[in-house]
Amino acid sequence: MREEQPSPVRWLTSSRCGASHTCVAVARLFSIPGVGVRDTAETETATALFLTPNTWNTFLTSIRNGDYDHRA
């Protein structure tokens, strides 16, 4: 049996992030369904979080609804 090599993960960061390094990077995972999320300031050493597709979609919906907006 041939051992499958994992495909490299392609991390994506918003173009709005700029040089501030205060953003997160996301990657679609192909070996298992889900999304990886990590800090852009620690690209080589950051621990990535794994979110299931359902959790990722719930998180995006919360962002779109303004649930995480800071209000003064």
Low-confidence ranges of the chain (pLDDT < 50): 1-5
Strands (E), 1-72: 24-29, 34-39, 49-51
Question: What pLDDT sits at residue 22?
Answer: 77
Q: List C-alpha distances in Å: 40 to 2, 4, 6, 51, 66.
A: 35, 28, 22, 17, 22
Distance of CA 68 to the CA centre of its chain: 16
pTM, two decimal places:
0.67
Question: What pLDDT sits at residue 5?
Answer: 46
